[in-house]
Structure 1
Amino acid sequence: MKRATLWPDHLLPEADLPPPWPGREVRFGGSALYVRDTPATSAGAKPALYVHGLGGSSQNWTDLAGLLADRLDGQAIDLPGFGRSEPGRRYTIPAFADLVIRWIEHSDRGPVHLFGNSLGGAIAVQVAGLRPDLVRTLTLISPALPFLDFRRSLQGRMLPVLAIPGGERLVARYLTQLAPEIMAQQVLEACVADLSRIGEQRRAEALEEIRVRYEAAHYAAAYVRTFRGLVSSFLRSYLPGPGSLWRLAASVRAPALVVGGRADRLVDVRVAPQTARVIPDSRLLMLDGVGHVAQLEVPRLVARAVVGLLAETEESGRRSDLAG
C-alpha cells in the first residue's frame, strides 16, 4: 500500500455541472438493465464501468465520469432492483458480480477500468478477484467490505428488520409515510458530510431519483434483500471456507485506488485503509470532512487521484514495453 498520487488540478477539464448522462434500457439476462453512457471526449479513451452503492443509482457517477471523459469512455449501470432497472431474482454480492461480469463480456468492452462505491465496491472486488482478465484498474470509494461492529454504521439500525418475517413490507410502509423531499434530505444527510458541497441541481436530481423509487413496487424488497445479502457476505468473510471478500481482495492483481471519507457514517472508517492493506498493488486516499460518496461530494479531488492512478499504470506499461 502507498499513498495516492494526485494529478494537478489545473490539468483536469474545466469545472462544469453536467446533467445526468443519457440512459437507455437494454434487454439483458431476461430483464431490462438501465445503462448510462458518458461519451469519451478524446480519441484513445479506455473503457470504464461504474457500479453504485446500496440504494443508489448510475446517476451517482455523473460528475466523476464527466471529469474523466477525456481519458475514459464510461458506462454506469443501475443494478437490478435499483434506479431504473427491473428487479432481479437474487440480491447477493455473487449474483451482482456475476451480472457485472456478464455485462462486461456482453458489451465487448473489456478489460475495463472498474469503479465501485459502497456495495458497488464489494461487487467490484469480487469481479476483480474472480476475473482479473476483465479489469484494467480498480477504484473503490468507501467500499462496503466486511466489518462486524454495526454500531459504526447508520445502517446498523436496519439489522432487526432482517430478522422479521415480511421485513420488506415494513420498509415499504415506512417509505410511503415519508414525503419524497424528506427522504431525499435524509439520504443526503446520511451520505454527505458537508451538504453545502451539493448544489441545487444535484439536490433536485436526487429528489427525482427518490420519486422513481416510490413508483417502483419492488424497491423496498430489493433494498432489504440486498442489505441482507451484504450482511450475509460480511459474516461469511470471517468464517472458514470460500466466499470471503477479504480473501478475494487479497487475490486482486489489478492496480487499485481506495478512497475513504473520515466522516463516513455508513461504512466503518477503518475499512478503506484495511482494504488498501489487503489488496497487493494499492494506493490509499483518506479524506477529512468527507462522507460516504466522495465522488459526489468532492469529485475533482477523486478525479485527481484516479488520473494519478491511470498515469502511473500507463507509465509502468511503457517501461514494461521498453524492457520487453
Structure 2
Amino acid sequence: MKPATLWPDRLLPAHSVPPPWPGRAVRLDGTVTYVRETPATGPDAEPALYVHGLGGSSQNWTDLAGLLADRLDGQAIDLPGFGRSEPGRRYTLPAFARRVVRWIEHSGRGPVHLFGNSLGGAISVRVAALRPDLIRTLTLVSPALPFLDFRRSLQGRMLPLLAIPRGERLAAWRLAQTAPEVMAQQVMAACVADLSRICDQRRQEAVDEILVRYQAEHYAAAYLRTFRGLVSSFVRSYLPGSGSLWRMARTVRAPTLVVGGRQDRLVDVRVAPQTARVIPDSRLLLLEGVGHVAQLEVLRLVARAVVGLLTETGESARRADLAG
C-alpha cells in the first residue's frame, strides 16, 4: 500500500454540473439492465464501468464520469432491482458480480477500468478477484468489505428487519409513509458529511430518484434482500472457505485506488485502510470531513486520484512495452 498520487487540479477540466447522462434499457439474460453512457471527449479514452452502492443508482457517478471523460469512456449500470433496472432473481454478492461480468462481456468493452462505491465496491472486488482478465484498474470508494461491529454503521438499525417475517412489507410501508423530499434529505444526510457540497440540481435529482423507487413495487424487497445478502457475506468472510471477500481481496492483481471518508456513517471507517493493506498493488486516499460518497462530495479530489492512478499505470505499461 502507498499513498494515492494526486494529479494537479489545474489540469482537470473546468467545473460543471452536467445532467444525468443519457440511458437506455438493455435486455440481458431475460431481464432489463439500465445503463447510462458518458460520452468520451478524448481520442484515447479507455472503457470504464461504474457500479453504485446499496440504494443508489447509475446517477451517483454522473459528475465523476463527466470529469474523467477525456480519459475514460464511461458506462454506469443500475444493478438488478435498483434505479431503472428490472428486479433480479437473487440479491447476493455472487449474483450481482455475475451481472457485472455478463455486462462487461455483453458490451464487448473489456477489459475495463472498474469503479465501485459501497456495495458496488464489494461487488467490484469479487469481479476483480474472479475475472482479472476483465479489469484494467480498480477504484473503490468506501467499499463495503466485511466488518462485524454494526454500531459503526447507521445501517445497523436495519438488522432487526432481517429477522422479521415479511420484513419487506414493513420496509415498503415505512417507505410509503415518508415524503420523497424527506427521504432524499435523510439519504443525503446519511451519505454526505457536508451537505453544502451538494448543489440544488443534485438535490432535486435525488428527490426524482426517490420517486422512481416509490413507483417500483419491487424496490423495498430488493433493498432489504440485498442488505441481507451483504450481511451474510460479512459473516461468511470470517469463516473458513473460499467465499471470504477479504481472502478474495488478497488475490486482486489490478492496480487499485481505495478512497475512504473519515466521516463515513455507513461503512466502518477502518475498512478503507484495511482494504488498501490487503490488496497487493494499492493506493489509499483518506479524506477528512468526507462521508460515504466521496465521488459526489469531493469529486475533484477523487478525480485527481483516479487520474494519478491512470497516469502511473499507463507509464508502467509503456515501460513494460519498451522493455519487451
Alignment of 1:95-134 (within 5 A): 95-134=95-134
DSSP 3-state at the match of 2:296: helix
Q: 1:56 & 1:211 partners in 2: Cα distance?
A: 13
What is the deviation of 1:44? 1.4
Q: Tell me what 1:234 maps to.
A: 234
Q: 1:163 & 1:210 partners in 2: Cα distance?
A: 26
Q: Is it true that 1:20 corresponds to 2:20 in the alignment?
A: yes
What is the deviation of 1:133? 0.2
Q: TM-score, normalised by structure 2?
A: 1.00
Deviation by residue 1:36-90 (Cα, 9 ceiling, x = unmatched): 0001001110000000000000000000000000000000000000000010000
Q: Tell me what 1:52 maps to.
A: 52
What is the deviation of 1:6? 0.2
Deviation by residue 1:95-114 (Cα, 9 ceiling, x = unmatched): 00001001100100000000
What is the deviation of 1:117? 0.0
Deviation by residue 1:169-218 (Cα, 9 ceiling, x = unmatched): 00000000000010000000000000000010000000000000000000
Q: 1:276 & 1:294 partners in 2: Cα distance?
A: 16
Amino acid at match of 1:222: A
Q: Tell me what 1:271 maps to.
A: 271
Q: Tell me what 1:292 maps to.
A: 292
Deviation by residue 1:153-181 (Cα, 9 ceiling, x = unmatched): 00000001001110000000000000001
Percentage of identical aligned residues:
81
Q: Is it true that 1:11 corresponds to 2:27 in the alignment?
A: no
DSSP 3-state at the match of 1:65: helix
Q: Tell me what 1:217 maps to.
A: 217
Q: TM-score, normalised by structure 1?
A: 1.00
Q: Tell me what 2:194 maps to.
A: 194
Q: 1:104 & 1:19 partners in 2: Cα distance?
A: 25
DSSP 3-state at the match of 2:75: strand
Pairs aligned (count): 324
Q: 1:215 & 1:105 partners in 2: Cα distance?
A: 31
What is the deviation of 1:243? 0.4
RMSD: 0.4
Amino acid at match of 1:149: D
What is the deviation of 1:321? 1.0
Deviation by residue 1:14-56 (Cα, 9 ceiling, x = unmatched): 1111000000000111111100000100111000000000000
Q: 2:29 & 2:210 partners in 1: Cα distance?
A: 26
Q: Moved runs in structure 1, 4+ residues, more than 3 A?
A: none
Amino acid at match of 1:131: R
